[in-house]
Amino acid sequence: MTAAPDPTPSGVELLQQYFTAFTPVQLAQFEQLGPLYAEWNEKINVISRKDIDALYERHILHSLSIAAVGNFAKGSAIIDIGTGGGFPGLPLAIFFPEVTFHLVDSIAKKLKVVDAIAKTIGLTNLTTQHTRAEEINNKKFDFAVSRAVAPLKELWGWSKPLLQHKNRTAGNELAPALLCLKGGDLAAEIQVSGTKPKQLSLSALFPLPFFEKKFLLYVPR
Ligand code: SAM
């Protein structure tokens, strides 16, 4: 008797279950991420070894949950705080080719992976900066995004000064905000943060076990 096939596709097919209008360029870029991250992760560890086989679900689809909620208008500027190997910023830069993404991290070697992958797949709307987020004082953005970086109180303290007072770019449905991805029980963390975020359950977007207890927090400026 042979085992039943896994009903959950991996790779780009998984993304296409939830997002249907990729251009051929976007499809080619997403397809290249699997082999490129596998290759780079051997040299510089940016993704846990057990997660690299689940790259499309646990990193790319997870990053794209932000696109399912916030439709960033053409010309918007986004900062990804603590991007590590490029999440959520790099998949979002593929998704929104007319929006600029600035990916920052305090560890330079992680950005080397981001720069190399962005260059190989021809992403021209992404820049990186080796810095601590709280040290940036000369740039403003329409939105900040972030995944798994710091407690909300700190993250909001870093994000708020980086956000425009009003959207610089017409067409954004959302006001300038932090959109961050977090997991687990967030009640205490939200309470001490002094913010009142909207909390969206990702399992409502993606009915897969990985997304249980995963949330997107929307904190407007
Ligand atoms: N966001 C990525 C992801 O989800 O795969 C990386 C998450 S990793 C757990 C946290 C990252 O935040 C690390 O790469 C760390 O260097 C970075 N980081 C922590 N504090 C930071 C700060 N104040 N400014 C910039 N980066 C920071």
For the chain, which domains are there?
11-220 (3.40.50.150)
Whether residue 111 has its Cβ less than 6 Å from ligand 1: no
The CA-CA-CA angle for residues 100, 52, 124, to 5°, reads 20
The DSSP call for residue 135 is G
Whether residue 147 has its Cβ less than 6 Å from ligand 1: yes
pLDDT digits (tens, 9 = 90+) for 141-175: 999 999 999 999 999 999 999 999 887 777 888 89
Average pLDDT of the chain to the nearest whole number: 94
Q: Please indicate whether residue 21 or residue 25 has the higher confidence score (pLDDT).
A: 25
pLDDT digits (tens, 9 = 90+) for 100-115: 999 999 999 999 999 9
Percent of the chain with pLDDT over 70: 96
Nearest to 107 by CA among 130, 123, 124, 88: 130
On the 0-12 / 13-18 / 19+ scale of CB atoms within 10 A, 105 is buried
The number of the ligand 1 atom at minimal distance from the alpha carbon of 107 is 16
Q: How far does residue 20's CA lie from ligand 1's centre (Å)?
A: 30
What average pLDDT does range 119-136 have in this prediction?
98
Q: How far does residue 27's CA lie from ligand 1's centre (Å)?
A: 27
